Amino acid sequence: MIYPKIPNAQTVIQLCKAKKIQHIVISPGSRNAPLTIGFSNDPYFKCYSIVDERCAAFFALGLAQQLKHPTAVVCTSGSAVLNYYPAVAEAFYSDIPLIVLSADRPKHLVGIGDGQTINQKDVFANHILYSTHLKLDIKDEKNIPENEELPIIKNLEDKLERFLGFQKDIQTFNEEEILTAINQATLKKGPVHINIPFDEPLYETVSKLSVNPKVPDVSVKTKPIDNYIVQECFDYWNASAKKMILVGVNHPNQIEEKWLSELSKDDSVLVLTETTSNLHHNTFFSNIDQLISPLTDTEQKALQPDILVTFGGLIISKKIKAFLRKFQPKHHWHIDEKSANDTFFSLSNHIKSTPNQFFDALLSRVTHHVKSDYYTSWEQVKKQRFEKHQLYLKQIPFSDFKAFEVLLSTIPDYYVLQVGNSSAIRYTQLFQLNKTLKVYCNRGTSGIDGSTSTAIGSAVANEKPTVFVTGDLSFLYDSNGLWNNYIPKNFRIIVVNNGGGGIFRILPGHKNTENFDSFFETKHNLNAKYLCKMFGFEYFSADTELQLKSKLKPFYSDSEAPKLLEIFTPSTINDEQLLNYFEFLK
């Protein structure tokens, strides 16, 4: 087998292999050549070459999202590594394991005016679980000419690090740092950064490894919840007639069915789920904004919970945030092994466990349910809201709202549904989805950058077909995501094109002005047709409800290429239809 000659590169590659980091996304470059040579010549690794670094990192994010195991992105030095930052931030806030392997110049070549050189050490400092800068191998040392005074000082610093220590000590340090980073990504679920200095020559290869890194076993024991905490929670739980459970971003099949069933039997419990929660039960409230938006202050006061239990990732609904900040619970418990956000300014307890572990400890103690009409009274409201929802949709013209009704109701069973941010995910929240779908959205930072690339990475890692629903600005922003040789032929994209950032029309501000059109809504006349032609997608389009319904069946049919359906909606009425919807519910 062919190996890179540089020991540092050998070490990184062997330790990735030992820790089962199999999927490697490589952004082509020169300084990272030792890593590229090693990864691409080892049949254990599945390597992907993606030129655009931002797209590459989000593609790797999509892979890791589905695999629930770290993937690695590899880049050259300089601004290349900065283009990984949006995906690193998303991984940080979404608890997705991502390993950034950035090649760098030796210390004596940084800060002297060389090209493709920036200060890469700790570059992701505010959004990373662990960051390390490896030491340069002694075996890579070359004669460095001594020129001016400042370079001599830097050379001496470099030489002290590389010569006064022993190669064995440097090798041990590097191995420990690499393993620590990989273990952090794996166990704590998030991004890590390994910055690796390489000296030239970069392309030399050998047929035999010169280093043999050791991999100690890492055992993780699940800590039981402190009995005092469980008893305290139980006492409050048993005495409260109004308990609300709010579930954010959550992987499918994470919560045991028996706990969902147990919660559904308790009339003092309301379970509110978001689209991204992937939790389904006929007693749960799956369309939060429908419930919250029409309520008067008196009704909101009646809905105010004594206890709020939250788990999962970040919450999408602005309306539930506003409600719970105004009508705060007496107790807010967040269940998460890692961290807890005080989203509603009332956090009283961070329970460091899994939801299954917590409900097992709590609900197993419950012998009877508190007498309450909390669920039954709001269940009636939920039914009324759904009836009004259906009635409203029957009377509105073709618009974003109507388009989402049609497209969401026709997604085939067992698809993976990736949703873009902004208006796409907010419209999706208003509908009851097919329970067989698995739903994902980049809600860590809620940005529009990289949604397409994430969806494609997800599709590559998943045997089930994937459909990505997005808005026009988000799609165009990440159009380089289609510059990708790995897109499965059963991958589908639906772009709702309303000619700009229509969601800004819903927000307060002066509309229908040149300033608003240019700098907020960002009107445009672009479409996806020629992008599809360039990147080998079959293209479909529709601009009426009848056309849309007629195109969906062939759109999902088997094909030899991925497909894109572009739905054109009128930009000027979408805000009116949505705002009128919430008024109609009242």
pLDDT of residue 107: 87
44 and 119 co-located in one domain: yes
Q: How far apart are CA 296 and CA 298, in angstroms?
A: 5
Q: Does residue 453 fall inside a structural domain?
A: yes
411 and 553 co-located in one domain: yes
62 and 162 co-located in one domain: yes
Q: Does residue 373 fall inside a structural domain?
A: yes
Q: Does residue 160 fall inside a structural domain?
A: yes
pLDDT of residue 42: 97
360 and 413 co-located in one domain: no
Range of the domain at 376: 227-380
477 and 578 co-located in one domain: yes
52 and 199 co-located in one domain: yes
102 and 155 co-located in one domain: yes
41-63 pLDDT per residue, tens: 999 999 999 999 999 999 999 99
- Domain boundary among the residues 352, 380, 408 is at 380
364 and 425 co-located in one domain: no
232: Cβ contacts below 8 Å, ≥ 6 apart: none
Length of the chain in terms of residues written: 586
**Which CATH number fits the domain that encloses residue 180?**
3.40.50.970
Q: Does residue 419 fall inside a structural domain?
A: yes
372 and 500 co-located in one domain: no
Domain count, the chain: 3
pLDDT of residue 167: 64
Residue with tokens 């445009």: 524
Q: How far apart are CA 529 and CA 215, in angstroms?
A: 51
11 and 147 co-located in one domain: yes
Q: Does residue 219 fall inside a structural domain?
A: no
Q: Does residue 72 fall inside a structural domain?
A: yes
Residue with tokens 């907010």: 426
pLDDT of residue 331: 97
Give 359's Cβ-side CA count (13 Å radius).
17
DSSP one-letter string for 382-435: HHHHHHHHHHHHHH--SSHHHHHHHHHHTPPTT-EEEE-TTHHHHHHTTSPPPT
**Which CATH number fits the domain that encloses residue 341?**
3.40.50.1220
- Domain boundary among the residues 206, 239, 267 is at 206
Q: Does residue 538 fall inside a structural domain?
A: yes
pLDDT of residue 71: 98
Which DSSP letter does residue 275 get? G
464-501 pLDDT per residue, tens: 999 999 999 999 999 999 999 999 999 999 999 998 75
Report the side by side order of strands in the sheet with 466-471: 438-440, 416-419, 466-471, 492-497, 563-568, 538-542
pLDDT of residue 500: 72
Q: Does residue 222 fall inside a structural domain?
A: no
150 and 281 co-located in one domain: no
Of 341, 324, 342, nearest in space to 272 by CA: 324
pLDDT of residue 488: 97
pLDDT of residue 520: 63
361 and 415 co-located in one domain: no
pLDDT of residue 499: 86
**How far is CA 482 from each of CA 23, 59, 496, rounded to the nearest angstrom?**
19, 11, 17
Contact 317, 325 (CB under 8 A): no
- Domain boundary among the residues 330, 353, 380 is at 380
Q: What are the residue ranges in the chain where pLDDT is below 50? A: 140-153
